[in-house]
Amino acid sequence: MSRRACRPLAKRALVVALAAGAGMTFRAWSGEGGPPGQIGSKVVTWAEASPRVAGWGEMRTYFRGETRGTTSALAAIAVVKPGESVHPAHRHAEEEYLVITEGSGRWHLDGKEFPAAKGDVLHAAPWAMHGLVNTGDVPLTFFVARWNSKGLDIPPAPPGPHGR
- pTM for the whole structure: 0.76
Average pLDDT over residues 95-116: 98
Confidence of residue 36 (pLDDT cuts 50, 70, 90): confident
pLDDT value of residue 101: 98
pLDDT value of residue 72: 94
pLDDT value of residue 27: 34
Concatenating the DSSP letter of every residue in the chain gives --HHHHHHHHHHHHHHHHHHHTT--TTPPSSS--STTBPPS----TTTSEEEEETTEEEEEEEEEB-SSEEEEEEEEEEE-TT--SSSSB--SSEEEEEEEE-EEEEEETTEEEEEETT-EEEE-TT--EEEEE-SSS-EEEEEEEEEETTSPPPPPPSS----
Domains, the chain, in order of start with CATH, read 3-149 (2.60.120.10)
pLDDT value of residue 162: 53
pLDDT value of residue 143: 98
